[in-house]
Chains A and B, each alone.
Chain A
């Protein structure tokens, strides 16, 4: 099932810093849950369409009409690091 390196890979994808102990615990728990989920394989679903929406609707759209914008101060009110008119973030290293 899931190996340690899989957990590390998924943690990177999910931007979660996990300690070594957490990774091991996560591995065990995820494997347990995935084992439970295996029971889905007992169901025959080859010719079944997936349900992405409980209610089958199509073409819900809106007019190209303007709506209210937030004043800048409100947009930035919860910013952890505000630099004048901008949100500021720490140094970006291309991953």
Chain B
């Protein structure tokens, strides 16, 4: 039997504002418990929230990047439920008047691209962290850390337009890339900066009604999201084929065991008793406020990737790696333009050379999606360009350049300084090399004999010996040419 898989994703992203959504406490991760709190985010009696303007700007920026309609009338609402990680036992969130609706995100699927609709985007405050003294089922007590309570959270709900676990993972990757490019979220799923819940149901191909959906909560990586959904597809298909009904419920993914399991089912759904937050006045999002944010939107990863292919003649694969973060893409373009002589455009060869060096060398020492690490790279773009220029003008060989690169990483110096200090300049003096070639040939009669007997590999060992005799500094092209010529005459 074939089934159509219908998946919708809800992503919660913690925003990288300096302070929390409704108070001035810092949002940095990993602080000692209960040291980043104040009377407001602790929900102490008598306190009042005040909206963080930058959080709204980030929300608008994201909504625009997702092609959403910004709601001019935007309002916060109280969402009530009791849980010890929620100081007020209500969360200030949004209900009937969210910040934005009806957008889309383009993802790569097999054989092309697909637009996934985004239902809504809204702002809310995050909750604290609960640490159970045991497992959730057996712990006699739990401890609460409110550092995270009040951190600005942006919730985005996709339309149920994803059709496979793979598409879901692709959506999450693309989503995260947009958020990181916009600089609104650090995308760190291990730290919980980006959390995902999925809704999945199955139906017969061609059916218009949705099947019973199951919610899977707190998927903390793309891989786990895909695995959890793959398991669900199998589980639901099996059940449906056996004539069973799917129970509408919430399940958790056990990453170690690779299956989803039911949370204890609720007797009744939460009655959130939403009403407009009386301590906050409504937002009217329009005009100069929104236009200013729109004008400052950066080029996003997909557009940048396409531009790199067109502008620099790079293969799509390379462009994909280089645009994994705005910082890395920026690094790439800075290095390429540093290579281009005096304001002109770089050659395709240069553009490819920079790409190769970044992909094979730089990314071994600097993570490509770590904005700070790239900004603080021991080899800044200009230095990388300088190194490649020394290869281009014959000062050093490609092989020597790799060693120089290692030294550049360790000492943070530019290439020319290292090459000069260590005398690594390539020997390109044909006469000098010729003399050494003669010496090597004279010292290796067996290799000559082998070569003449048809073993062309013997020539390579002669090349190797010349390189060794010159501490690798001989220009390999010249060595090869000379050895070829001389062997031909022997």
Direct contact of A and B (CB under 8 A): yes
Binding site for B on A (CB under 8 A): 13, 15, 52-53, 57-72, 75-76, 83, 85-92, 94-95
Asked whether A87 lies within 8 Å of B51 as measured between CB atoms, the reply is: no
- Bound-state CA distance A57–B140 (Å) is 48
Asked whether A57 lies within 8 Å of B38 as measured between CB atoms, the reply is: no
Asked whether B36 lies within 8 Å of A58 as measured between CB atoms, the reply is: no
Which residue of B24, B34, B281, B282 contacts A76 across the interface (Cβ within 8 Å)? B34
Answer whether A64 and B19 are a contact pair too, CB < 8 Å, given A52-B278, A58-B284: yes
Asked whether A58 lies within 8 Å of B144 as measured between CB atoms, the reply is: no
- Bound-state CA distance A91–B53 (Å) is 38
- Bound-state CA distance A15–B81 (Å) is 10
9 pairs of A and B residues whose beta carbons are closest in the complex:
A67-B24, A86-B143, A64-B54, A61-B53, A85-B33, A58-B284, A87-B144, A61-B51, A57-B281
- Bound-state CA distance A63–B50 (Å) is 10
| B273 CB within 8 Å of chain A | yes
Asked whether A52 lies within 8 Å of B53 as measured between CB atoms, the reply is: no
Which residue of B18, B141, B145 contacts A66 across the interface (Cβ within 8 Å)? B18
CB 8 Å contact bits of B67-86 with A (1 = contact, 0 = none):
00000000000000010100
A50 to chain B, nearest CB (A): 9
CB 8 Å contact bits of B230-273 with A (1 = contact, 0 = none):
00000000000000000000000000000000011011000101
| B360 CB within 8 Å of chain A | no
| B132 CB within 8 Å of chain A | yes
Which A residues touch B132, using CB under 8 A? 92
Which B residues touch A71, using CB under 8 A? 35
| B292 CB within 8 Å of chain A | no
B467 to chain A, nearest CB (A): 58
Number of A-B contacts (CB under 8 A): 119
- Bound-state CA distance A88–B140 (Å) is 10
Asked whether A95 lies within 8 Å of B24 as measured between CB atoms, the reply is: no
CB 8 Å contact bits of B1-26 with A (1 = contact, 0 = none):
00000000000000001110001111
| B110 CB within 8 Å of chain A | no
Which B residues touch A67, using CB under 8 A? 19, 23-25, 38
Asked whether B19 lies within 8 Å of A65 as measured between CB atoms, the reply is: yes
Answer whether A61 and B56 are a contact pair too, CB < 8 Å, given A66-B26, A69-B26, A94-B263: yes
Which A residues touch B281, using CB under 8 A? 53, 57-60
Asked whether A64 lies within 8 Å of B55 as measured between CB atoms, the reply is: yes
Chain B contacts with A in 303-347, Cβ cutoff 8 A: none
Asked whether A64 lies within 8 Å of B17 as measured between CB atoms, the reply is: yes
Identify the closest chain B residue to A83 (Cβ): B143
Asked whether A91 lies within 8 Å of B264 as measured between CB atoms, the reply is: no
Q: List 14 A-B contacts (CB under 8 A).
A: A53-B281, A59-B281, A61-B52, A65-B19, A65-B24, A67-B19, A67-B24, A68-B38, A69-B35, A76-B34, A90-B140, A91-B141, A91-B142, A95-B266
